[in-house]
A and B are shown apart, each in its own frame.
Chain A
Amino acid sequence: MKETYVDLVNIRRKVFAEIARIAYNEIDLNELERIPYNIVPGEVAKYRENIFRERAIVEERLRLTLGLNARNLGEFTKVTDGIESINVDEIRFVPPLVNVITFACEACPVRAFLVTDNCRKCLAHPCTNVCPVNAISIGKDRAIIDKEKCIKCGKCKESCPYSAIVEYHRPCAQVCGVNAIENDELGRAKINEEKCVSCGRCITQCPFGAIADKSQIYQLIKALKSKDHMYAIIAPSFVGQFGVLASPAQVFEGIKQLGFKDVVEVSLGADITTLNEAKEFLEKVPNEYPFMGTSCCNSWTMMVQKMFPDQYKYISDSASPMVETAKYIKKKDPDAIITFIGPCISKKLEALREDVKDYVHFVITFEELMGMFVAKDIELSEIVVDEEIQDASNLGRGFAVAGGVAEAVKQTALKLEPTRKIEVESASNLHDCVKLMRIAKAGKKNGYLLEGMACPNGCVAGPGTLASLDRVKKAVNEFKSKSAYTTPLENEKIGDHPIE
């Protein structure tokens, strides 16, 4: 998340902590109406024009966090509507994952050019001169752009000596790499489900916090209380997320204190995926496939499936690190109930797939996990633990940062066939992923391994993160160097794991 969006991020996280608290303390869900008063106390609005709206928006967030749908503002629906269906200890998640809270949306104009107060009504007024449709006139106080005529070319903005003309973008729409944000009848943001790949960038970007994803923490906590064989698998980008004083070993121990039997690094699955993708690349490219795309980023593969259906077959068949790690655990414990903890919300959809749902049962983000730690009063930095975590190789741990997957597959493939020439290219934000696929479709990336990451800079910048990019990158590099294994080929833990 954007850590500088302090007030928004705090509301979001307080909601997670409250729902976790309700679940752990078995508080009656019919008390849900009281919870907004804990999060938005007092009589004076702090964030919006009135406190009623603030609390109503928090109510919707509570509903989404419980896994319920956002309500239609035009119909009377109790905040507890549908509560029996989600008050269970197994996943009850129904798409859509990403939801616009319509009455939190400020219906920002989509794109416009505006003359600001910076305009000094100068004598030169080049803005009027460069406009291809003669849309600019000089009014009483400043230049005026005729919105009906304006074709949004930007020439006026370029010409102004005072930078008085600004280009205005709707934040959520601008950051969406697949142009899935449209307008409803009131001009509010509306997500086109056919196009959306659930990357979550709109959630991070909206300055009014009007977009939110559904959560599974309530059902997960109920399962932690009622079931055994609960395992957690945690994504490579977890290091440094939970406060600077929490070491990886303390994080693992803290997760166990929440009720999990054991924790495994998803980097272990990344090692397996690396081996599979390296072998697949060496075998299939260029004779069967002109190029190959990595399979670990769910939003990237969804985008390819929706926008480039003919190229979808060139995405690696290898299961993602999340799935490989779950399979690894299932082999040791067939009754295992597995929770993926990561920076990602798209994984919540990946876990619903037919070939994944029997392996990965719950998906939560680092933010949601932090809410659980707070609800249970767990102080990670106080935990006494001295074991070292050694589930994965240096290269496997590198999956967290853009370029890491490609690097791992390339290096491993070169170890298997040292004379092969392997070209890789990485795209790390959804817009660039689309561009890369377009170029590949045109035949310009033959022989390449293409790594697609929907989040800019890779998973370390996912929507479910708590720490800044630089901080996590540094922590990931440090954790990588502590691995006992340089490449997946040396990882003893997966030594006897059959590779497809």
Chain B
Amino acid sequence: MKVKVCMGSHCTLLGAMNILDQVEDLKNLISEDDNYNDEELEIDVLKCPGYCKNAKDNISPVVIIDDEVVFNATSQIVMEKIMKKKRK
């Protein structure tokens, strides 16, 4: 499972690093809980993929989980999606 957090300027301003911190902590949480499959959770950071340049309203922060692009991402939404997919 690949989670990519955008680290462009606008996303950084609106909390991308906090989302990254929490998702990284989640890795520890999952590895300690036998109900979750912790293999292959890859966390990466992205340079600005440019969604914000074409959007009319604010869409930052942006997080991409496998094929799904999450706009206005919050750590709780991102973590919930990860936990759902990871549950054995």
Residues of A that sit less than 8 Å from B by CB: 3-4, 6, 9-10, 13-14, 17, 41, 242-246, 370-371, 373-374, 377-382, 466-468, 470-471
Contact B20 A373 (CB under 8 A): no
Nearest-neighbor residue (CB-CB) of B11 within chain A: A243
Chain B positions within 8 Å of A, measured between CB atoms, are 7-18, 20-21, 45, 47-48, 57, 74-75
Chain B residues with Cβ below 8 Å from A244 are 7, 17, 20, 45
Q: Are B8 and A379 in contact (CB-based, < 8 A)?
A: yes
The answer to whether A370 and B45 have CB atoms under 8 Å apart is no
Nearest B residue to A17 via CB reads B13
B45 and chain A: residue at smallest CB distance: A244
- A243 B74 Cβ-Cβ under 8 A: no
Minimal Cβ-Cβ distance residue in A for B18? A3
Residues in A neighbouring B74, C-beta threshold 8 A:
6
B13 CB to nearest A CB, Å: 5
Q: How far, in Å, is A55 (CB) from chain B's closest CB?
A: 16
22 contacts between A and B (CB under 8 A): A3-B15, A6-B15, A9-B15, A10-B15, A14-B14, A17-B13, A243-B7, A243-B9, A243-B12, A244-B20, A244-B45, A370-B13, A371-B13, A373-B9, A373-B13, A374-B10, A379-B9, A379-B47, A466-B17, A468-B17, A468-B18, A470-B21
A380-B9 in contact (CB<8A)? yes
User: By the criterion CB–CB under 8 Å, are B12 and A370 in contact?
Assistant: yes
B9 lies within 8 A of A370 (CB): yes
Q: Which residues of chain A come closer than 8 Å to B48, judged between CB atoms?
A: 379, 381-382
B3 to chain A, nearest CB (A): 14
Q: Is the CB of A467 within 8 A of B13?
A: no
Evaluate contact between A242 and B18: CB separation under 8 angstroms: no
**A residues within 8 A CB of B20?**
244
Q: Bound state CA distance, A468 and B16, in angstroms? A: 11
B17 proximity list for chain A (CB < 8 A): 3, 243-244, 466-468, 471
Cβ distance A36 to chain B, nearest Cβ, rounded Å: 15
Q: Which residues of A contact B21 (CB under 8 A)?
A: 3, 468, 470-471
Is there contact, CB below 8 Å, between A10 and B14?
A: yes
Using A243-B9, A244-B7 as known contacts, say yes or no to A13 and B14 having CB atoms under 8 A apart.
yes
In the bound complex, residues from chain B placing their C-beta under 8 Å from that of A14 are 14
Min Cβ gap A39→B in Å is 10
Please state if A245 and B9 are interface contacts (CB–CB under 8 Å).
no
What residues on B are CB-neighbors of A382 within 8 Å? 47-48
With A378-B9, A471-B17 given, name 8 new contacts (CB 8 A): A4-B18, A6-B75, A10-B14, A243-B16, A370-B9, A374-B9, A466-B12, A467-B17
Residues of A within 8 A of B10 (CB): 374
CA distance A370 to B7 in the complex (A): 13
A367 and chain B: residue at smallest CB distance: B13
CA distance A381 to B48 in the complex (A): 9
Query: Once bound together, how far apart are the Cα atoms of A382 and B48, in whole Å?
Result: 9
Chain B residues lying within 8 Å of A6, measured Cβ to Cβ, are 15, 18, 74-75
Which A residues touch B8, using CB under 8 A?
243, 379, 381
- In the bound assembly, the distance between CA atoms of A471 and B5 in angstroms comes to 16
In the complex, what residues of B have CB within 8 A of residue A471's CB?
Answer: 17, 21
A245:B18 contact, CB within 8 angstroms: no
In the bound complex, how far is the Cα of B12 from the Cα of A453, in angstroms? 27
Among A41, A246, A374, A470, contact of B13 (Cβ-Cβ < 8 Å): A374
CA distance A467 to B10 in the complex (A): 14
Docked pose: A453 CA to B61 CA in angstroms: 33
Centre residue among A6, A243, A246, A371 by max chain B CB count within 10 A: A243
Closest to A254 in B: B9
Cβ contact within 8 Å between A381 and B14:
no
Instruction: List A contacts of B16 (CB < 8 A).
Output: 243
Cα of A13 to Cα of B17 in the assembled complex, Å = 14
- In the complex the two chains form, is B13's CB within 8 Å of A13's CB? yes
Smallest CB separation, B47 vs chain A (Å): 5
- For residue A245, which residue of chain B has the nearest CB? B7
Point out the residues of chain B lying under 8 angstroms from A371, CB to CB.
13
CA distance A373 to B9 in the complex (A): 7
* Bound: A268/B48 CA distance, A: 33
Chain B positions within 8 Å of A468 at CB level: 17-18, 21
- Give the nearest-CB partner of B8 in chain A: A379
Closest-CB distance, A449 to chain B (whole angstroms):
34
Given contact pairs A379-B48, A471-B21, A242 touches B15 in the complex (Cβ within 8 A): no
B16 to chain A minimum Cβ distance, whole angstroms, is 7
